[in-house]
Amino acid sequence: MSGINESIVNEIKDLVINYFSEECDIAKENINDSTNIIEELEGDSLMLLSLLEVVRKKYNLSIELKTLGKHLIKKPANTVGEVVKLTTAIVEHGDNIINVEL
Amino acid sequence: MVITSSMLSFNTNKKLLACGIDSEHIERFTRLCTGEKALSPLIFSPKEIEHCFSLDNPSIGFCASFCCKEAMYKACKQPINFNTCELFWTPSKEKYHVTLPNDFYLEHKIQEAIAQVETSSAKECIVTVFLLG
């Protein structure tokens, strides 16, 4: 999927926030871009991989964990905002995310 | 989590190159078994999924498998494709074994990978991976 529009970006943001709200049992109003995944939501790799699967199925994505892992080493995603940005990039670029400067 | 002691013994003339460890609560994987949460093909291979559902307690199987992948990632110190690191229980030998693709051994310069799996009284699964070469 290339050149995603604003409505998809907003859809992804809603998906990510709804996901963390449900998984962490926190009201959506209390989750914003600067919310820290680990410190405030007690998130971990299992939670993030489950989110990735939700996104993968919804947008029919093709990506390898190894590729995603290499990207995260260069650009970690510690906050909800960073996870939204990363998720948007994955939807837009798939496995080519390793070659994308974010 | 409470682990009082753990012991691993195996016969080998190979050198210990690295190890990794991970633990997870087994109940987190119950939702995978009931279908409440999707089994991601990015994490589990089809063979693993079939194997875990054949076990008396699939939740432990999936939990141990996931912990093995995380432990392997930590031992390798670089990202890996989780679905290529598979953990299987062999009832006749009463032990788990890890399978990895041939190019994994070449890429990470290892000759053998061993996984030790334990469950604690706090209903957690702990997996330690040892990479030998």
Smallest Cβ distance to B70: which of A45, A54, A72?
A: A45
Residue A96 has pLDDT above 70, yes or no: yes
Contact B42 A49 (CB under 8 A): yes
Residue B1 has pLDDT above 50, yes or no: no
The residues, ordered by sequence, that sit 6+ positions from A11 with a Cβ below 8 Å of its Cβ are: none
Contact B81 A66 (CB under 8 A): yes
Query: pLDDT value at position A100?
Result: 72
Query: Chain-wide mean pLDDT for chain B?
Result: 90
Residue A8 has pLDDT above 70, yes or no: yes
Query: pLDDT value at position B80?
Result: 95
Contact A73 B79 (CB under 8 A): yes
Q: Whole-prediction pTM value?
A: 0.91
pLDDT in tens, A28-75: 999 999 999 999 999 999 999 999 999 999 999 988 999 999 989 988
**pLDDT, average across residues B88-116:** 93
User: In the numeric block, which tokens belong to residue A33?
Assistant: 């871009």
- Asked if residue B43 lies in contact with residue B67, where contact means CB atoms within 8 angstroms, the answer is no
- Top pLDDT among A1 and A39 is at A39
What whole-number distance in Å separates Cα of residue A73 and Cα of residue A66? 11
How many CB pairs below 8 Å do chains A and B form together? 44
The band of A99, judged by pLDDT with boundaries at 50, 70 and 90, is confident
The number of beta carbons lying within 10 Å of the beta carbon of residue B91 is: 8
Contact B43 A69 (CB under 8 A): no
Q: Answer whether B21 touches A (CB < 8 Å).
A: no
Residue among A47, A62, A65, A52 at smallest CA distance from A93: A62
Q: Answer whether A52 touches B (CB < 8 Å).
A: yes
What whole-number distance in Å separates Cα of residue A34 and Cα of residue A79? 6
Query: pLDDT value at position A102?
Result: 58
Residue B57 has pLDDT above 70, yes or no: yes
pLDDT in tens, B13-43: 889 999 999 999 999 999 888 888 889 999 9
Query: pLDDT value at position B121?
Result: 73
Looking at this protein, which amino acid is placed at residue B50?
A: E
Distance from CA of A5 to the nearest CA of B (A): 27
Residue B4 has pLDDT above 60, yes or no: no
The band of B5, judged by pLDDT with boundaries at 50, 70 and 90, is low
Report B:42-71 residues touching A (Cβ under 8 A). Answer: 42-43, 66, 70
Q: Answer whether B37 touches A (CB < 8 Å).
A: yes
Query: pLDDT value at position A2?
Result: 58
3-state secondary structure A6-69: HHHHHHHHHHHHHHHHHHHCCCHHHCCCCCECCCCCCCCHHHHHHHHHHHHHHHCCCCCHHHHH
Residue A1 has pLDDT above 70, yes or no: no
From chain B, pick out residues whose CB is under 8 angstroms from the CB of A72. 79
